[in-house]
């Protein structure tokens, strides 16, 4: 049994469409759990009316964020439906390979040392968004801005591994896109689930680190593909400055807690973003 975990925040239309059109393509036995992150009573009613019998609607009562919301959904999928697999998926995904979930479940069953698997994730611009390599904190939060002052665009792109996903081969990689991740329930529980200390961003990397402690890897399966309207919900609710600040704080927590981030790098990143905000960049 596959537990399909979907987080809803804001309007219900996108979630209703996703469950009705995309989840209907899953051939394997499955149950959809929609966690509503405090969108209000009218949204809850719309979800219940639009998904009557198609999903279990779980009102969180407040905006728990990505990690806590998914942890809640996973708990419901396991306790109420006995799900032995968990698919964490965004509501802005389209299954361009209709058998994507079933194919990933079959592949995961063949890989006992893999704790998480994901497909090709292609953006609306045609570029692949997954998988991703390990990047240091400085490479993510300092190099993109200060590197422009000291090196050419092509050199900077190489150092940041911007084309990594475009040439990635099937197999183990550091992390996959959090918009579509399939895991065994047993592995999810054994690694402690998603870290509740993050609200948004860095969850995939933290899961990769937690799985690593179990001797489990992250697998990229390019034989199947999904389309992702990246940031559709987040961009409509949070400003660029707010998103940047949330990403910085989540990443700082991840690197500090799991990889011993030097405090000086964090302070340098905060100064960098303060300067960008000051100049409206």
Q: What are the tokens at 109?
A: 């069953």
Question: What does the mean pLDDT of the chain come to?
Answer: 93
What pLDDT, on the 0 to 100 scale, is given for residue 11?
Answer: 84
- The pLDDT confidence band at residue 148, using thresholds 50, 70 and 90, is confident
Answer whether residue 151 shows pLDDT above 90. Answer: no
Supply the DSSP string of 185-242, one letter for each residue: HHHHHHTTSS-TT-SSS-HHHHHHHHHHTTT-EEEEEEEEEEEE-TTHHHHHHS-HHH
- The pLDDT confidence band at residue 187, using thresholds 50, 70 and 90, is very high
Answer whether residue 233 shows pLDDT above 60. Answer: no
Percent of the chain past pLDDT 90, that is, above it, reads: 79
CB-based contact 136:266 (threshold 8 Å):
no
Residue ranges per domain, the chain? Answer: 2-131+168-237
Query: Sign of the C-alpha dihedral, residues 204, 207, 209, 212?
Result: negative
pTM over 0.85: yes
Answer whether residue 231 shows pLDDT above 80. Answer: no
What pLDDT, on the 0 to 100 scale, is given for residue 156?
Answer: 82
What pLDDT, on the 0 to 100 scale, is given for residue 153?
Answer: 80
- The pLDDT confidence band at residue 103, using thresholds 50, 70 and 90, is very high
pLDDT 10s digits, 111-126: 999 999 999 999 999 9
CATH superfamily assigned to domain 2-131+168-237 = Spore Coat Polysaccharide Biosynthesis Protein SpsA; Chain A (3.90.550.10)
CB-based contact 60:36 (threshold 8 Å):
yes
Query: Within 10 Å of residue 186's Cβ, how many Cβ atoms?
Result: 13
pLDDT 10s digits, 44-86: 999 999 999 899 999 998 999 999 999 999 999 999 999 999 9
What's the CA dihedral at 88, 90, 94, 96 to 10 degrees? -40
């Amino acid at each position: 049994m596959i537990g399909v975990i979907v987080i809803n925040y804001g309007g219900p239309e996108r979630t209703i469409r996703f469950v009705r059109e995309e989840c209907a393509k899953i051939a394997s036995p499955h149950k959809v759990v929609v966690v509503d992150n405090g969108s209000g009573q009218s949204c809850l009613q719309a979800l219940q009316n639009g998904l009557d019998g198609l999903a279990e609607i779980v009102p969180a009562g407040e905006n728990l964020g990505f990690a806590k919301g998914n942890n809640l959904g996973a708990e419901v999928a396991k306790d109420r439906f006995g799900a032995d697999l968990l698919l964490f998926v965004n509501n802005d995904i389209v299954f361009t390979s209709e058998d994507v979930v079933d194919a990933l479940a079959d592949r995961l069953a063949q890989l006992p040392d893999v704790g998480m698997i994901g497909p090709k994730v292609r953006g609306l611009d045609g570029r692949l968004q997954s998988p991703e390599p390990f990047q240091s904190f400085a490479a993510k939060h300092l190099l993109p801005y200060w590197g422009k002052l000291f090196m050419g665009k092509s050199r900077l792109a190489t150092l940041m591994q911007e084309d990594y996903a475009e040439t990635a081969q099937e197999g183990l990689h550091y992390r996959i896109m959090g918009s579509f991740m399939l895991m065994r329930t047993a592995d999810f529980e054994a690694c402690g689930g998603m870290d509740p200390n993050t609200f948004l961003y860095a969850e995939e990397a933290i899961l990769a680190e937690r799985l690593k402690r179990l001797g489990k890897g992250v697998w990229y399966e390019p034989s199947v593909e999904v389309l992702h309207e990246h940031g559709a919900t987040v961009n409509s609710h949070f400003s660029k400055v707010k998103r940047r600040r949330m990403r910085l704080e989540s990443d700082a927590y991840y690197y500090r807690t799991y990889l011993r981030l030097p405090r000086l790098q964090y302070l340098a990143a905060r100064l960098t973003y303060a300067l960008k905000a000051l100049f409206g960049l």
